[in-house]
A = this chain, B = another copy of it.
Amino acid sequence: MDAGDLRVFEAVARLGGMNRAAAELNTVQSNVTARVKLLEEELEQKLFERHSRGVTPTAAGRRLLPYAQRVAQLLDEARRAAMDDGKPKGALVIGSLETTAALRLSPLLTQFAEAYPAVDLMLRTGTTAELVEAVLQRHVEGAFVCGPVDHPDLQETTIFREELVVLTSPAIRTLDEVLARRDLKIVVLRLGCSYRQRLEEVLTRRGVVGLRRMEFGTLESIIACVSAGLGITMLPRSLIGPVWRDGRMAIHALPGPESKAETQFIRRRDALASSALTAFLDLTRRSRWQVEAAD
């Protein structure tokens, strides 16, 4: 039994057919059939039930499948461990909430890209749930998510804690005034933004219904929009210092638990960190907004 055999087996099991597996593996069907057959003969067990719509794993196949996956994983990790000589290089895929990426990470990313040109840094964005899954599936080495996540296979480090505040035009003085308005519009960076969800929760909890939403691509456009009285938004307090001092917007604080947001970096406990990731986290740690205290 060979790792190549297991790779073929895994593809057949996952795709439910030898033809589909052959296509994915860039080979021909007869080849896949032959290798599966060889494997079955070696193990003295039928691995698949053949029927006219493809194949389904037998009991033996189901027993073997997790091993096929683990072997593939292990070989991949072995390759990376051997190739990683301590000098950051190669691919580094990390995940992030879109908001975090846009508002916090961009300076860090450019700084990293300059410092380590040999690293191909890739950022994948998604929701916290999607990113947790991506980390578990090893599609990304780690991810910035909204914590705490508290999963046994994940190690999490608090990167920063921030206070979320509601921003309105300067004409509005209190949160109650905000709530009284009928044609309330919320302004967010992207529709999938995690702050949007948070803001909507805050408002619905206070009895506001029938929200309208607006989406903008940059922080500046949102601020302009809010200060013009077109809508309200929610942002970390630390991001809006200068604008507030201009008096262009009013800040409305929220009670403790509602305002607290923790951004955490998660990664698999059992996966070793590449040099590139280590360098990235070092850089992160050196940044001003880093919170030392972590779990």
**A interface residue numbers (CB < 8 A to B):** 1-4, 6, 43-45, 47, 59-61, 63-64, 67-68, 70-71, 74-75, 77-79, 81-85
Contact = CB atoms under 8 A, between A and B. Distances in A.
Given A60-B82, A63-B82, 13 more contacts: A2-B2, A2-B4, A3-B75, A43-B82, A45-B83, A45-B85, A60-B85, A61-B82, A63-B81, A64-B82, A67-B78, A67-B81, A68-B78
A61 B85 CA distance: 11
A59 B77 contact: no
Contact of A59 (B6, B68, B85): B85
Contacts of A74: 67, 70-71, 74
Contact of A43 (B64, B71, B83): B83
A272 to B, nearest CB: 9
A1 B75 contact: yes
A77 B67 contact: yes
Q: Specify how many copies of this chain sit in the oligomer.
A: 2
Give me the 4 closest cross-chain CB pairs, A-B, nearest first: A67-B78, A3-B3, A64-B82, A43-B82
A79 B4 contact: no
Contacts of A68: 78
A45 B81 CA distance: 11
A83 B44 contact: yes
Nearest to A79: B1
10 contacts: A1-B75, A1-B78, A2-B3, A2-B4, A45-B82, A61-B82, A64-B78, A64-B81, A67-B77, A71-B75
A71 B1 contact: no
